Structure 1
Amino acid sequence: MTLKFLYIADPMCSWCYGFSLELQRFLADMPDAELDIVLGGLRAYNTQKMDADQRDMILSHWEKVQQVSGLPFDMTGLNKPDFIYDTEPACRAVVAAKMLTQDMPTIINFAVFQAIQHAFYAEAKDITKEAVLAEIAVKALNEYEQSEIFDQESFLETLCSAECKDETRQHFQQIQQWGVRGFPVLLLVREDGLHMLSSGYVKAEILIENLREISVV
């Protein structure tokens, strides 16, 4: 039986970035598993420019995540003039990837999700820019497929479409209806409903243990 998971997260959530490697390790022994990503909208539609206090607060979170996860961070990413921490475009890029890969294994979208995270946290790229997101996503998609079937122009067209924007908004509304207030969240999908595997950052070993406990019930 194919295992199905629901991953609730935001590419610009630092704890989701920290958790990404643990989730990757967890899924490594389950190549046929399905992972459906629901985008959280951590700071979606934010229009306020980042000030020094907000920057310091966010960087303190990044430092904690770096200490716990060991993942690379480029702390200069928040120093861009007039930077607005709007997570909607990054979430929408994952939705666009989902729209373009409906006939492909769902894990491909996690590869796009991780690529966007890495670009933001480790490479200090401005992933609030649609052109930047299209470049990152297309590279990740083509690397996963080991081909050149995706191109930036087509991806950007999907990313900027009204359909994609509406679909992304529906993701955010779903999260609100579920009452999810923090990310990341990983759920096991079974016929009898959704089962919580983790809420917040946990190690892969804990995920494996939680899955085992749920599976014997």
Structure 2
Amino acid sequence: MHIDKLQYIFDPLCGWCYASAPALAHLAQHYGDRLELMPGGLFSDEGARQITAQWAELAWTNDQRIASLTGQPFSGHYHQLLLSGARFDSTYMNRALTAFRQIDAAAEAGLLHALQNARYVQGRDTSRSDVVADISAAWALEHHFDVGDDDLAGRLDTDGDLRSLTDQRIAGVKRLMGEKGVSGVPLLLATVDGTEYVISGYDLYGGAESVSVALAALT
């Protein structure tokens, strides 16, 4: 069996994508040269929203289900600070991830994990450009990636080229999902020995072991 390509479709604000973070870390570690992250824009642009009390209650219930199923942590800081009327918008995270992909494709999965951890564990508002820029710059410094820009927040806000590149990327993912007849995130399209398969659900939520078993079964 030879894995030709792995395409991971996600949104940075998707709780179930956070549930699949351990599986993605395994894929990035072992198949980084064949792994492509594909943001689908589920919670950006028209998918973004202001968090209402009713929506927050539903989100927290879903978060607790994810925590129970996968062990992924959702802190009290996150619950208190970010489910009380903040903006729910993945726009700036998508732009930061796209910027880092231009530097090094391997950086993208690591930055995604850092952004998710900052939100769900540290309670930081990753719908804000300045917060996303701060997290991104700190992660780049720690892992010795050269961001090449002292004003990353400004770039996330006003860089027309980065905005266009991110929008084109998301549009391409949406087009691909339409062509394949797939929906929902997270989703892994695995091309093995020239044949494409769809991996989703518990195979992604079960961490490194379950995604490894799922890939091994594609013969």
Shared fold per TM-score greater than 0.5: yes
Deviations 1:85-116 (A, max 9, x none): 112222221112112x1xx3x22210001101
Query: Quick check: 1:93 aligned with 2:82?
Result: no
Residue 107 of structure 2 corresponds to 108
Q: 1:137 to 1:198 in 2, by over 3 A?
A: same
Q: Which of 146, 150, 162 pairs up with 2:147?
A: 150
Q: Which of 192, 195, 206 pairs up with 2:194?
A: 192
Give 1:54 deviation, angstroms: 0.7
Q: 1:77 to 1:170 in 2, by over 3 A?
A: farther
> What amino acid sits opposite 1:41 in the alignment?
G
Q: Give distance in 2, aligned partners of 1:189 and 1:124.
A: 36
Residue 131 of structure 2 corresponds to 132
Q: Give distance in 2, aligned partners of 1:3 and 1:108.
A: 20
Residue 41 of structure 1 corresponds to 41
Conserved in 1, the CA contact under 8 Å of 2:5 and 2:192?
yes
Residue 171 of structure 2 corresponds to 173
Give 1:72 deviation, angstroms: 1.7
Q: Give distance in 1, aligned partners of 2:91 and 2:59.
A: 18
Structure that is richer in helix per residue: 2
Conserved in 1, the CA contact under 8 Å of 2:70 and 2:205?
no
Q: Give distance in 2, aligned partners of 1:92 and 1:175.
A: 15
Conserved in 1, the CA contact under 8 Å of 2:17 and 2:185?
yes
Conserved in 2, the CA contact under 8 Å of 1:8 and 1:183?
yes
Query: Quick check: 1:76 aligned with 2:75?
Result: no
Root-mean-square deviation (CA, aligned residues, Å) is: 2.5
What is the count of residue pairs matched by the alignment? 207
Higher mean Cα deviation, 84-93 or 198-207? 198-207
Deviations 1:145-179 (A, max 9, x none): 3x6x3366253354231111112222332232223
Q: Give distance in 1, aligned partners of 2:164 and 2:27.
A: 32
Q: Give distance in 2, aligned partners of 1:193 and 1:137.
A: 36
> What amino acid sits opposite 2:156 in the alignment?
L
Residue 217 of structure 2 corresponds to 213
Give 1:79 deviation, angstroms: 3.7
In structure 2, list runs of 5 or more residues that go unmatched.
none
Give 1:139 deviation, angstroms: 1.6
Structure 2 length as normaliser, TM-score?
0.82
Conserved in 1, the CA contact under 8 Å of 2:39 and 2:94?
yes
- Highest relative contact order (Cα 8 Å, sep 6+), 1 or 2? 2
Instruction: Work out the percentage of aligned pairs sharing the same amino acid.
Output: 22
Q: 1:150 to 1:168 in 2, by over 3 A?
A: closer
Structure 1 length as normaliser, TM-score?
0.82
User: What secondary structure, in the 3-state scheme, does the structure 2 residue paired with 1:153 have?
Assistant: coil
Give 1:15 deviation, angstroms: 0.7
> What amino acid sits opposite 2:120 in the alignment?
Y
> What amino acid sits opposite 1:64 in the alignment?
R
Conserved in 2, the CA contact under 8 Å of 1:10 and 1:39?
yes
Give 1:2 deviation, angstroms: 7.7
Q: Give distance in 1, aligned partners of 2:186 and 2:21.
A: 9
Q: Deviation above 6 Å: which 4+ runs of structure 1?
A: none
